[in-house]
Structure 1
């Protein structure tokens, strides 16, 4: 697998075949799906407030009610829950807004979920891509990113979509079936340019709308670790796993957690290989990411939260007490250098106002029976928490 990444030009893996490049590229437009005939949507909060004294109704019945384009529920503390037109069981995975219009955004998830908002997230409408629906695959859309009006979406099985008109139409970019690993992350970096990462550690960059890609690393993570068994990385010998999570800093550096959580890896622009690191904690790592000040945060399985000492890449961390109630924390999102939110299992929400030194529990989602997987702040005024069962919270602060 490592040999697939050694070439400086990956035309054979990622570029459009010559026969396709000579033809005009097909363009696909979103087609709104038929709306439900129901005139209203009944939320759990609305039911509990107005109907518990008269009619018993099971959760199964509630989740089977027809869905409409989403509207905001009553405010939950500093967050409000938005009802979405998605099936029960959908896991929301990523969200992005058009930089020139922060009212216009897209929401991705499993089961080929793709929603669009034009009012800042108050209401969402389901969209579809005809070229994807005509196939037998049920795509999992993993990542979305915008730079100006240009946007990119990647998913599994391998699919790459590109827009130059803020999502009014999407063009499907052909990809090789021999691409190493599954595409898990994409970042729009400039005009016609993007950076893409697979769960096997391949990093590719393009500057011509995705028709040609260049490898930013010389080999896969498996090849790097198996070649450097003497590096002393615990659990890294004969490594054949994949990334569990990967996060990018504003300056283009990456931190990724191995699928078993027994070590982590980093990469900085210009480095030929990923750099493995032993974990500095006893429990296995759940997720890692970047603080607003340039340091790292680290989550372990079982609910522990650690902050790196200083900024930049390091192996020195110190634990920070958190009130996780025994539930695992799954992600952290920084709104500013001082304020950040952590989210996790069974609706756990934690807040810090001092950069992460101390955390307090916010009861906003205590009654939401869902795991909260991702905290995304678009800017200081707009933030979202994404979870399973179609749970989406919007920041009100």
Structure 2
């Protein structure tokens, strides 16, 4: 009998995990025509209506900033970069002043990282821009470009250039090269910063590697992964992702924090195959403590297998991660399970070599290398779907850390439906249970002992999913 009940529960769980497939996102192409090969570099939104994107050189003009004020339904050109020419008057390609990453903090404040160590800053919503030289030239050589720009607010932020992290606390009036020093980094090794993000005013997470050159173009990599400080760089916490895999290469490609505590990282791991080829899988890590610890919560092996390259979340449960060649996955449980949310023909896949994702409110905005801008619309039940709509049970908070409160429906719930609460893991194993009075309208339950993950709470024949942090 126990075996039969376990099978039934697994079927229920399977249904709950696959149910979102019935509410696929509807995608609509929304960008104005800017040439066949418009290469969108980045899109960022500061609320549910206002977003801006940057577009690399196209076959019709030059780099530009595009903007929407209606949640991505319509877009217009907000700023045109000039065409740079050489001494003969011929356009220089690639653009020596290209734009690559953007931060849109408010209606007034826009920051854009550029090549040759420069930064665009606007305090009037993009009507005018100041150009700031963050990195100076050395011995007459042009400095490297700025990338991985992230601003916590209009004053505190940073960007990376030539593997160094530059930070500011006065809106880029001044900046400094942040020296990352920790006892676990040997003196003869060099730390290389690849990307970073602010999760709080004093909280920084950096994707990095620690290595040293042992012969010409031959490096020994000691650590590779995520390093976090919650006190402006005074102390650091290391998460070495190399130890998670016996692989040729592992890489973090994107960092996203929903608030000062909860964040995700996407990436890829590359294996050598027996026939001399390579196999790539996607990765998703998650933190609940500002980046002090990171858990590997998902390894993606679905086609096309080119890793996962950008990740964003609307709330604690609903998010999207994108890969190369049109791969787009969606989660409704905080990143523990993912399902395919876009199916493309071969031509469309090939046009989407690179993709980036952002949210304008609950609407995802997808920017692509050569397939323009796309806006997603969920069916009404697929975002923030309340438990009561599904089965009459209300469960909060979700995600939960210590306690959950279960509220039964005021009508339609019979005492015969159950006087016991059971919690199951995704393997169908009962990991916690408590008795309740059949007529009790609500019940508070301690779940602090449960490991982090996805669980299913059952009363009678009613089941509700929740996430334990």
TM-score (norm 2): 0.55
Q: Is the 8 A contact 1:374 1:386 kept in 2?
A: yes
Picking from 164, 167, 170, the partner of 1:204 is 167
Instruction: Tell me the distance in 1 between the aligned counterparts of 2:344 and 2:251.
Output: 24
Q: How far apart are 1:202 and its partner, in Å? A: 2.1
Q: Is the 8 A contact 1:330 1:344 kept in 2?
A: yes
The answer to whether structure 1 residue 156 and structure 2 residue 115 are counterparts is: yes
SS class of match (1:347): coil
Cα distance change on mapping 1:358 and 1:160 into 2, 3 Å: same
Cα distance change on mapping 1:365 and 1:206 into 2, 3 Å: farther
Tell me the alpha carbon deviations over residues 329-369 of structure 1, each in whole angstroms, 9 at most, x when there is no partner: 11221111011111112211111111112111113545522
2:309 matched residue in structure 1: 330
Q: Is the 8 A contact 2:204 2:232 kept in 1?
A: no
Instruction: Tell me the distance in 1 between the aligned counterparts of 2:203 and 2:83.
Output: 32
Q: How far apart are 1:241 and its partner, in Å? A: 4.6
The answer to whether structure 1 residue 299 and structure 2 residue 267 are counterparts is: yes
The answer to whether structure 1 residue 186 and structure 2 residue 165 are counterparts is: no
- Pairing 1:259-274 to 2, within 5 Å after superposition: 262-272=224-234
SS class of match (1:351): strand
1:376 matched residue in structure 2: 358
Q: Is the 8 A contact 2:354 2:369 kept in 1?
A: yes
Picking from 370, 376, 394, the partner of 1:389 is 370
SS class of match (1:249): strand
Instruction: Tell me the distance in 1 between the aligned counterparts of 2:120 and 2:254.
Output: 27
Gaps of 5+ in 2: 1-23, 58-62, 87-91, 210-220, 270-279, 379-469
Instruction: Tell me the distance in 2 between the aligned counterparts of 1:254 and 1:395.
Output: 31
- Pairing 1:177-326 to 2, within 5 Å after superposition: 177-178=136-137, 181-190=144-153, 193-199=155-161, 200-207=163-170, 210=172, 212-215=173-176, 217=178, 219=179, 224=181, 229-230=185-186, 238-239=189-190, 241-243=192-194, 245-249=195-199, 253-258=203-208, 262-272=224-234, 276-279=238-241, 280-282=243-245, 283=247, 284-290=250-256, 292=258, 294-301=262-269, 302-308=280-286, 310-314=288-292, 317-320=295-298, 322=300, 324-325=302-303, 326=305
SS class of match (2:335): coil
SS class of match (1:147): coil
Q: Is the 8 A contact 2:152 2:201 kept in 1?
A: no
2:418 matched residue in structure 1: none
Cα distance change on mapping 1:174 and 1:115 into 2, 3 Å: same
Picking from 308, 321, 337, the partner of 1:358 is 337
Q: How far apart are 1:169 and its partner, in Å? A: 2.3
Q: How far apart are 1:308 and its partner, in Å? A: 4.0
Larger RCO: 1 or 2 (CA < 8 Å, sep 6+): 1
SS class of match (2:320): strand
Cα distance change on mapping 1:116 and 1:138 into 2, 3 Å: same
Cα distance change on mapping 1:299 and 1:215 into 2, 3 Å: same
Q: Which has the larger radius of gyration?
A: 2
Instruction: Tell me the distance in 2 between the aligned counterparts of 1:297 and 1:349.
Output: 16
Q: How far apart are 1:195 and its partner, in Å? A: 1.4
SS class of match (2:103): strand
Instruction: Tell me the distance in 2 between the aligned counterparts of 1:365 and 1:248.
Output: 34
Instruction: Tell me the distance in 1 between the aligned counterparts of 2:344 and 2:240.
Output: 34
Q: How far apart are 1:251 and its partner, in Å? A: 5.3
Gaps of 5+ in 1: 1-75, 232-236
Cα distance change on mapping 1:123 and 1:295 into 2, 3 Å: closer
TM-score (norm 1): 0.64
SS class of match (1:173): strand
